[in-house]
Amino acid sequence: MTADRQVTFGTLHNTLRRRVPELAMDIDTWTRRMMRWHFEPETGSPFWVTRRPSLGFDPLKDIDGFAALELFGLFDKAELRAARARDLRPRGYQDRPFRVFETGGTTGAPCRIVNVTRLAYDVEIYRTVLEARGVTGGDVLAMTPSGPHAYGHFVEGLADSWNGAVYAIDFDPRWVKTALRSGGEAEAYTGHLVDQTLNLLSVERPALLFTTSRLLLELAMRLPRPLHTYGVRAVCTGGTSCTAAEAEFLRQEHLAGLQWIDTYGNTLVGHALQADAVPGEPDVPGGTGCSYHLPPPFAVMKVVDPSDPWRELPVGQRGRVRVTTLLEDLFLPNLLERDSAIRTGPHPWFPWDGVAAVQPFLEDSAGAVEGVY
On whether the CB atoms of residues 194 and 222 are closer than 8 A, the answer is yes
Q: Measure CA of the first residue to CA of the last residue in the chain; give whole Å.
A: 29
Q: Read off the pLDDT of residues 256-288 as tens digits, 9 standing for 90 and up.
A: 899 999 999 999 999 999 999 988 888 888 888
- Render pLDDT for 64-112 as a digit per residue (tens, 0 to 9): 999 999 999 999 999 999 999 999 999 999 999 999 999 876 656 889 9
- Of 62, 26, 59, 66, the residue nearest 40 (C-alpha): 59
pLDDT tens by residue, 319-337: 999 999 999 999 999 999 9
**Taking the mean position of all CA atoms in its chain, how far away is CA 25?**
21
* Residues shown for the chain: 373
Give the model's pLDDT for residue 327.
97
* C-beta atoms surrounding 164 within 10 Å: 18
To the nearest whole number, what is the mean pLDDT of the chain? 92
Residue 340, pLDDT score: 95
Whether residue 31 contacts residue 66, with contact meaning beta carbons closer than 8 Å, is answered with yes
Cα separation, 370 vs 177, in Å, equals 7
Do β-strands 112-115 and 140-142 pair in parallel, antiparallel, or remain unpaired?
Answer: unpaired
Helices (H), the chain: 12-19, 27-39, 46-49, 59-62, 77-82, 85-88, 118-133, 150-160, 173-181, 187-204, 213-222, 244-253
Instruction: In whole angstroms, give the CA distance from residue 127 to residue 48.
Output: 32
| pLDDT confidence bin for 4, thresholds 50/70/90 | very low
pTM for the predicted model, two decimal places? 0.93
Q: How far is CA 166 from CA 55, 135, 162, 190, in A?
A: 45, 16, 11, 21
